[in-house]
Amino acid sequence: MIDWIGDAYLSVKVWLFETLLLPLLYGAGWMHWEEDAFEWLDFALLGAVTVLVAYIICRPLEAALPVERRGADEPSTVGTDVAYTLLNRLGLVPLFAFVALQPLEIAWAALLADAGVIPPTLETAIPALRDWPLLTFALYVVIIDFAEYWRHRFQHRFGWWWALHSVHHAQRQMTFWTDDRNHLIDDLIGGFWFAGVAVLIGVPPGQFPLLLLVMRVAESLSHANVRLDFGSLGGRLVVSPHFHRVHHALDHDEGIGVRAHGCNFAVLLPVWDILFGTARYSGVYPPTGDRSGSERLATGSWWGTQVEGAKRFARVLTGRA
Amino acid sequence: MVQSFPRRSFLGGSAALAALPAGAQAPAVPLSARPLSESRGLVYVLNSRDATVSVLDAVTGAERAKVPTLREPHHLVYTPDRREIVLGDSAGNEFQFLEPATGAVTRRLRISNPYHLLYSPDRTMLAVASLRRDQIDIYDAASFELRHRLAVPDMPSHIAWTPDSRVAFFTLQGNNSLAAVEAATGRLLWKARTGKTPAGIVFDARHGLLVANMGEDNVTVQAPEDGRILRTVRTGAGAHNVFPSPDGLFHYVSNRVANTITALDAPSLAAVRTLRAPGAPDCLDFSADGRQIWFTQRVANRVGVIDIETGALTANIPVGRSPHGILFHALA
């Protein structure tokens, strides 16, 4: 069965690449992007599978065990999050980040080489890991999740960063589609953040796409509108929809002090919140959103929320916030 | 031979080589019932997206071992004494050395982003093209001490040397040009235009530099002295790399978009034959008897085998994701 799925996936990828993408690149004179385009296609196809799997898992749960139901006279704002998800997971936002950051990445790699710095990997630091690829991958997941925990805390701590991150928190109708709702500038900063981590520990292994898929689905599930936690033990091992809903609670947005000292910042592993005293295991499923933002930030289109987030960002930078 | 490969557990186990017994992996898909090759040998295939090396039995096509690398291996060559194979792991910033007869890892060396690599004919220098940092390096071949580093515009890709080892040539894939570097000083001698997206390059004493232009359907013949284009030879869309045959009679050009391999008559450079090569053909090598072409099918995760005499595709062997560099090692 798995072989059949793998073969079908490969057939689709080869067909798309050979009949559509490769002739397009060739015709446009962009063949120097060919290898990157092939990787991008892989990313986009895996992203499509991820969206499909997340939908198959999350949507029935949201229908069966919803935390909140939309009122009959309340318009849906989920469409904006669907757009965010598709733009991100089908590769358009990552493509934008790649094009924007690649010249810097090349200059940075050259600078490091000139300085005699060769970024390590976990395996070069701990040679025994070469024989344990899955363990190595797991260690990368833990370290990157740790770095993401701190990035998330800083997103709440600094006013300018919160202005961007508030795009994510503005959604009052939080669903599994909300995971990818981020400002483009915030995505770029995330790219820099990851590059910084990569200098210290290298890039993670890329040979476990199925595990990446599982993690991405778990991140989607954490945003789902579903009355679900993972129990007292499970909820301390993996971020649950309940745990993350408490992070998105309305009462965390009132003033920098409250926001900075919010809770449940972890992306995948709650252990960071537990270790750093930011875990909050509440018995309630609070309403979500950000009262400090404009209505357009909460209910606008993809473009509207991007513009509104940029304006808020500019106001903070220029001291007009 | 088979026993020399240690086993690998699900998590990796304690085996340094992460190798598997013969036949344990997906079998070859021969398109006829005959043995794939009359030549005994091992075929090394670098699976760039899987961070592994598939070691194939040339006779049966079975995978004899799968050797892990660090992140992203692309190209491989013999060391000058042919006692080792060295592969460049670009994202892993590492050279990995293998024993050719077994695939055993003999040593590793930290090195910044090695994409393509080629020893000088006099065996004293090693040129490295670093696609991801826009730099080209020349190392001492024995000590791997960096002798020269040169920043170049946009995606240095493949390398050729003059027979006297005086000059190294680098195609600049993103810049539609070719750079000549004096090996002794690291000085840029000249930079010249090529076709669009130049990739593979070889030095042919009869003609000069043959440059495969992946953004076009041709090979440009360029003067080693100043890089001027002497003539253009049409091959097929997406001309990617050029490989001289062992007998010196032909140059074979892989055409990525056309899914073909073109045979050029070496003395005249006339295109004499077009072979079907599906799956976006990339690098290729020849069986020890010179009767087969083994080529990587970059997007199809396979290695194809072509019988040169008949032109037929005789096998299609599953390997890892995005197979790139390939080397046929003959066994006695």
Question: What are the boundaries of each domain within chain B?
Answer: 2-330
Q: Which residues of B touch A134 (CB under 8 A)?
A: 10-12
Please say whether the beta carbons of B79 and B66 come within 8 A.
Answer: no
Residue B178: HSE in the Cβ half-sphere, 13 Å Cα cutoff: 34
pLDDT at B30: 59
> CB B49 to CB A123 under 8 A?
no
- Measure B248 CA to nearest chain A CA, in Å: 30
Q: Which of B197, B298, B324 to mutate to test the interface with A (most CBs of A within 10 A)?
A: B197
> CB A10 to CB B300 under 8 A?
yes
Q: Which residues of B touch A10 (CB under 8 A)?
A: 300-301
Q: Which residues of A touch B153 (CB under 8 A)?
A: none
- Measure A119 CA to nearest chain B CA, in Å: 8
Q: Which of the pair, A97 or A148, is modelled with greater confidence?
A: A148
CA angle, residues A161, A164, A170, in degrees to nearest 5: 125
pLDDT surpassing 60 at residue B224: yes
Rounded to 5 degrees, φ, ψ at B251 are -115, 130
Q: Which of the pair, B256 or A197, is modelled with greater confidence?
A: B256
Q: Which of the pair, A91 or B8, is modelled with greater confidence?
A: A91
- Identify the band that residue B22 occupies on the pLDDT scale cut at 50, 70 and 90: very low
Number of Cβ pairs < 8 A linking chain A and chain B? 115
> What is the spatial distance between Cα A167 and Cα A299, in angstroms, rounded to a whole number?
10
Of A18, A39, A206, the CB nearest to B280: A18
> CB A121 to CB B111 under 8 A?
no
> What is the spatial distance between Cα B128 and Cα B145, in angstroms, rounded to a whole number?
12
Q: Which of B71, B152, B214 to mutate to test the interface with A (most CBs of A within 10 A)?
A: B71
Rounded to 5 degrees, φ, ψ at A320 are -100, 5
> What is the spatial distance between Cα B103 and Cα B65, in angstroms, rounded to a whole number?
8
> CB B174 to CB A32 under 8 A?
yes
Q: What is the DSSP string of A143-209?
A: HHHHHHHHHHHHHHHSHHHHHHHHHHHT-SS--GGGGG---HHHHHHHHHHHHHHHHHH-PPP---H
> What is the spatial distance between Cα A198 and Cα A119, in angstroms, rounded to a whole number?
7
* DSSP for residue A215: H
pLDDT at B18: 30
Mean pLDDT for the stretch of residues A64-71: 91
Note whether B212 contacts A: Cβ–Cβ < 8 A.
Answer: no
pLDDT tens sequence across A238-265: 999 999 999 998 876 666 666 667 899 9
B positions 27-86 inside 8 Å of A (CB): 49-52, 68, 70-72
pLDDT at B105: 96
Conformation bin of residue A81: beta by default, left when phi > 0, alpha when psi is -120 to 50: alpha
- Identify the band that residue B12 occupies on the pLDDT scale cut at 50, 70 and 90: very low
pLDDT surpassing 90 at residue B181: yes
Note whether B325 contacts A: Cβ–Cβ < 8 A.
Answer: no
Note whether A14 contacts B: Cβ–Cβ < 8 A.
Answer: yes
Dihedral, CA atoms, A265, A216, A95, A208, nearest 10 degrees? 120
- Identify the band that residue A2 occupies on the pLDDT scale cut at 50, 70 and 90: low
> What is the spatial distance between Cα B18 and Cα A192, in angstroms, rounded to a whole number?
34
Rounded to 5 degrees, φ, ψ at A126 are -130, 85
End-to-end alpha carbon distance in chain B: 12
Query: Per CATH, the architecture of B2-330 is what?
Result: 7 Propeller (2.130)
Mean pLDDT for the stretch of residues A161-165: 95
State CA A198 to chain mean position distance.
17
- Structure tokens that stand for A297 in this block: 């930030």
pLDDT surpassing 50 at residue B27: no
Mean pLDDT for the stretch of residues B188-202: 97
> CB B257 to CB A132 under 8 A?
no
Note whether A203 contacts B: Cβ–Cβ < 8 A.
Answer: yes
Note whether B88 contacts A: Cβ–Cβ < 8 A.
Answer: no
Q: Which residues of A touch B280 (CB under 8 A)?
A: 17-18, 22
pLDDT surpassing 80 at residue B158: yes
- Measure A237 CA to nearest chain B CA, in Å: 22
Crossing angle for the helix pair A78-89 and A92-114, nearest 10 degrees?
A: 40
> CB B15 to CB A31 under 8 A?
no
> CB A206 to CB B51 under 8 A?
yes
Note whether B153 contacts A: Cβ–Cβ < 8 A.
Answer: no
pLDDT tens sequence across A114-145: 898 888 899 999 999 998 888 998 999 999 99
Paired strand residues for B213: B198, B218
B positions 226-285 inside 8 Å of A (CB): 237-238, 256-257, 259, 279-280
Note whether A10 contacts B: Cβ–Cβ < 8 A.
Answer: yes
- Measure B215 CA to nearest chain A CA, in Å: 5
pLDDT tens sequence across B29-49: 656 556 777 779 999 999 998
Q: Which of B262, B271, B330, B332 is nearest to B295 (CA)?
A: B262
pLDDT at B4: 29
Of A18, A32, A124, the CB nearest to B173: A32
Please say whether the beta carbons of B78 and B69 come within 8 A.
Answer: no
Residue B225: HSE in the Cβ half-sphere, 13 Å Cα cutoff: 2
Q: Which residues of A touch B13 (CB under 8 A)?
A: 131
Q: Return the residue matching tokens 């580093």.
A: B149
Please say whether the beta carbons of A229 and A243 come within 8 A.
Answer: yes
> What is the spatial distance between Cα A29 and Cα A94, in angstroms, rounded to a whole number?
22
Crossing angle for the helix pair A209-222 and A34-64, nearest 10 degrees?
A: 40
> CB B130 to CB A10 under 8 A?
no
Note whether B114 contacts A: Cβ–Cβ < 8 A.
Answer: no
Residue B225's CB: how many other CB atoms inside 10 A? 11
Note whether A26 contacts B: Cβ–Cβ < 8 A.
Answer: yes
Of B93, B237, B299, the CB nearest to A119: B93
